[in-house]
Chain A
């Protein structure tokens, strides 16, 4: 047994299998990592008779990643989104955008896409975005007789944009795990994210053009244009301050991503105070939900940090990376294989777990193959967005199934219906990955401008 444990591949495979088994049998993700770490430390260091020392070293090292300043951006982004939702500022943006769309066919679908893209630029949580859009617009679309696929699809599609368009908490996590420039990674997501939003609009437009009955036109009372423009100027334009704090300050080099995230959260507080929407109740609700979401994420990050270190210490990471680089296949084939693995894992695991398990392996391989890590990071984020929509366990699929079944008109919705509604949006994501392969500048141009 000890001889076998001297083989880094065996140790790596054992630890990898252990985490997956513990997760699948139902241990919370964080505890699956912690359990695997304890066993891994005894195996890796205990083989030399230093079991207790190995365990103490494990706990000591666990504090390294979690106490790094770059991770500060994650709670700040989450607080920012929570404050926007709980103070009602998000609803004001939404109501103002509602006035812009007039009586065009499928106006509620376009409103979903515009509102979802705006929220993606103001909040770091894709599920919170989808949940909000689902609860705000879902019932209205049902009342207006929209086809189920036009109700579910746009919400699922645009909900995931928060992963790509900054502020993105997942991008910060990815950047810190992959040791790439987080500011550049955040900025790199802007153009691909906006392109995705445009493609989603195209999907809706094509669908409504082919099936006009799927989104019946209805009459609404709209105020005159000056009133509508004033509503946008009062409720939407000031949100530019938040976007400027998060994106603008990074591009200008005035603040680091963590600092800009804190300034973004402070900007939301200032705006809420200006709109007289700041109350003790809204602040405590926002911080309570932020503690829950960030705490869940940070316990996992804490648990996973030592996992990567143990893999590196055992030598498994470098053996896998060398084997993958040395494998006799083209770089593009290897890239596509990595994307396929990410998508396959996305069918069963959540985004955080996928990143924690795969990043220690795939980023060194991709770097060694000559791929730009920022560009590849954007591809990984798109793959993570897709994993929200891939059956059987895509999180947004379940969320929308819940939203649909809660309504009398859509009570008979099945998971198959939800998956079918998501397919066009998954194809858009795949198309953007293809465009990124043909034109990497879509992701790398803005970060280069920043430098």
Chain B
């Protein structure tokens, strides 16, 4: 009986772990899709303009919003891949045990920052929905669309930092191995 309950509990945990991993991977894939869509939309817009057609008014506004959605969709996967740039002036000079402790403390600070920002964005999201705020751009868009990706992106970035603490892994990447501009 106890074994069955434990097995059922394990299955539920496994299911949620897989679901969670799928969400993080899905968000990264979404970020890639947004990049591709931006190229397509802009090329169509420029082509339409130069061929004498009237380009869609939504292009600029949608592309601007897409940048925010891209950033927040990429953020959790970036945290998991240890892709954030870190200045390792001090970290690299610590002995492994101290570095592990420092890594955990940094992960706690980063997770706290993310979760506080997710909560603040959630408040703004709720306010915008209740007040039916509109953001005037090349087309008018509901303002809550600005805060939705912040809630999702920061929440899952926060949980990714907590995940590193839970599995006892260093949350920080090597700055000098990150491909950068």
Contact = CB atoms under 8 A, between A and B. Distances in A.
Interface of A: 23-31, 34-35, 38, 55-56, 58-60, 62-63, 66-69, 71-72, 75-76, 78-79, 124-128, 131, 163, 169-170, 173, 254-255, 258-259, 262-263, 265-266, 284, 287-302, 348-353, 393, 395, 398-399, 402
B35 A299 contact: no
B110 A259 contact: no
Contacts of A296: 78, 83-85, 178, 180
B109 A27 contact: yes
Given A259-B46, A393-B89, 16 more contacts: A25-B102, A29-B87, A31-B109, A34-B117, A38-B113, A67-B65, A68-B64, A76-B42, A128-B179, A262-B42, A288-B28, A291-B70, A293-B181, A295-B77, A295-B83, A350-B87
17 contacts: A27-B106, A27-B109, A28-B84, A29-B85, A29-B87, A75-B67, A79-B35, A258-B63, A259-B46, A262-B39, A291-B31, A292-B179, A294-B35, A294-B74, A295-B77, A296-B84, A350-B175
B84 A26 contact: no
B166 interface: no
B87 A266 contact: no
A252 to B, nearest CB: 11
B181 A56 contact: no
Chain B, interface residues (CB within 8 Å), range: 35 or more
Nearest to A26: B91
A213 to B, nearest CB: 32
A34 to B, nearest CB: 5
Contacts of A258: 42, 63
Nearest to B94: A26
A377 B124 CA distance: 37
Contacts of A289: 179
B76 to A, nearest CB: 10
B152 interface: no
Contact of A255 (B46, B77, B109, B175): B46
B63 A63 contact: no
Given A67-B67, A76-B39, A26 B87 contact: yes
B74 A291 contact: yes
Interface of B: 28, 31-32, 35-36, 38-39, 42-43, 45-46, 50, 60, 63-65, 67-68, 70-71, 74-75, 77-78, 81, 83-91, 102-103, 106, 109-110, 113, 116-117, 120-121, 123-124, 146-147, 150, 172, 175-176, 178-181
A69 B64 CA distance: 5
Nearest to A269: B39
B32 A288 contact: yes
A58 B120 CA distance: 9
A7 to B, nearest CB: 27
A35 B161 CA distance: 15
A58 B85 CA distance: 23
Contacts of A76: 38-39, 42
A438 B77 CA distance: 48
The 10 closest A-B pairs by CB, nearest first: A295-B74, A28-B84, A262-B42, A287-B32, A298-B71, A398-B176, A67-B64, A26-B91, A59-B120, A291-B31
A262 B38 contact: yes
Contacts, number: 196
Contacts of B64: 67-69
A263 B71 contact: no
A173 B67 CA distance: 14
Contact of B89 (A24, A27, A127, A301): A24
A225 B84 CA distance: 48
Contacts of B46: 255, 259, 262-263
A292 B35 CA distance: 12
Nearest to B180: A127
Contacts of A302: 68, 71
Given A34-B113, A79-B39, A295-B83, A259 B45 contact: yes
Given A34-B113, A124-B181, A67 B78 contact: no
Given A35-B113, A291-B31, A26 B106 contact: yes
A38 B116 contact: yes
A298 B67 contact: yes
A103 B89 CA distance: 45
A131 B181 CA distance: 12
B71 A66 contact: yes
Given A55-B120, A67-B64, A297 B181 contact: yes
Nearest to A393: B89
Contact of B179 (A38, A131, A163, A259): A131
A265 B35 CA distance: 11
B87 A24 contact: yes
Contacts of B124: 56, 59-60
Contacts of B70: 75, 291, 294-295, 298
Contacts of B123: 56
Given A34-B113, A69-B60, A25 B71 contact: no
Nearest to B33: A287
A425 B120 CA distance: 48
A66 B180 CA distance: 19
B180 A293 contact: yes
Given A59-B120, A67-B68, A69-B64, A299 B86 contact: no
Contacts of A72: 38, 42, 63, 67
Given A127-B179, A293-B179, A395-B176, A299 B74 contact: yes
A31 B113 contact: yes
B43 A262 contact: yes
Nearest to A80: B39
Contacts of B172: 26, 28
